[in-house]
Amino acid sequence: MTAEKLTLVEAVAEGIHDEMKRDESVVLLGEDVGRSGGVFRATEGVYDAFGPERVIDTPLSETGIAGAAVGLAASGIRPIAEIQFMGFSYAALEQLFTRAARMNARSRGQFPCRMVLRAPFGGGVRAPDLHGESMEAIFVHQPGFKVVVPSTPRDAKGLLTAAIRDPDPVMVFEPKKIYRAFREDVPEESYETPIGEAAIRREGEDVSIFTWGAVTRPTLEAAEAVAEDGIDPEVVDLRTLSPMDRETIVESFKKTGRAVVVHEAPKTGGLAGEITTLLQEEALFYQEAPIERVTGWDAVYPLYDLEDFQLPNATRVEEAIRSAVEE
C-alpha cells in the first residue's frame, strides 16, 4: 500500500470521500457539511466531488438530521450524519435511541439501520458550553449501537470505513483536540480497521493502562516517563467501546495484575467502572492491587478557564501508574 502523511481530520475526510466514490448509496448530511466543508473542515472537498444530491446541508436541527438519517437507512441508503459537537447530539437522542438503535430488532432484520453518526467529542479546544462533552457511555449503554473512537489518523480512516460498511448503526466519535495535533502514514487505498478490536500501543509487564481518544497521547507520555524508573506499563487503546474487546482487556490484566483506566468523561457512571467490573468478574485472582481510575471530574464541563483542570493529563496518569505499582 502507498501511504501519505495525514492529520486525523484529513483522514476522516479521505475516508468519507473514498466510500462515497466506492458506493453510490452513501450520502452525507449535516449542518455546513457541504459548501463550507464542515465546522472542522472534515468534509472539505466532498461537496465538489459528489454534488448537492449526495451532500446535503441541513437546517440547524439535530433531531431532523438524526431522523432523516434513520429514514434514509430504512430506504436502503447509507447515510453519514454529522452532528457538529457531541453535546449537540442530546437533541437527537429520541430519534437515535427509539428508532435507529431498535429498527433492526423490531423489524426482525427486515429494516437494518445502516447508518453512521459522526461527532467531534471531548475537550481541549477552548470552546463554549456544550462543545467539550465526553458522554460516550450514554451511547454504549444503549443496545443496538456500535461505538468507535479513533486516536490516530490511520484508525480514523479505517474505523470510519468499517463503520460505513457495517450493517448496524455506528457512532463515530472523533477526538477534536487531536484533529490536527500530528500526522502519520495513512494508506491511500481503502481499508478497514476492524470494529471490536483494541490496539496495544505499548507492550509491558507491570501494569495495564486502558484508554481511548485524545487522552491516549498523554497516557503514552506518562508510560514513557515511568519507564525511565523501571516501571514497564502496557497501554491498550480500546478504539471500540461497543462491542468492547473484552478478551484483550482481560488478557492484558492477567499478565500484569494491575490496571489504570483513563478517560475524559466524568468518573461516576463512566466506562472505567465497567472495565473495572469486567476485570473483577473475569480475572479477580490475578489482581495484585486496587484498580486506579483517571477521569474527568464529576462536574458540568467547565468553560475554558478551568478546562485544563478538568482533563486528565500525563501527570495525573503517571501518579496513578505509580500508585498501582507501589500497592
Q: Residue 308 CB: number of other CB atoms within 10 A?
A: 12
Count of H helices and E strands in the chain?
12, 14
Is 206 in contact with 252 (CB distance < 8 Å)? no
Pairing of strands 184-187, 3-6: antiparallel
Name which of 282, 294, 264 is nearest 132 in CA terms: 264
Name which of 15, 309, 307, 314 is nearest 148 in CA terms: 15
Catalytic (active site) residue 17: no
DSSP secondary-structure letter at 93?
H
Is 45 in contact with 17 (CB distance < 8 Å)? yes
Can you tell me the distance from the alpha carbon of 187 to that of 117, in angstroms, rounded to the nearest whole number? 23
Is 191 in contact with 179 (CB distance < 8 Å)? no
Can you tell me the distance from the alpha carbon of 81 to that of 57, in angstroms, rounded to the nearest whole number? 11
DSSP secondary-structure letter at 61?
-
Q: Residue 58 CB: number of other CB atoms within 10 A?
A: 18
Name which of 265, 311, 307 is nearest 133 in CA terms: 265
The SS3 assignment for 143 reads coil
Catalytic residues: 131
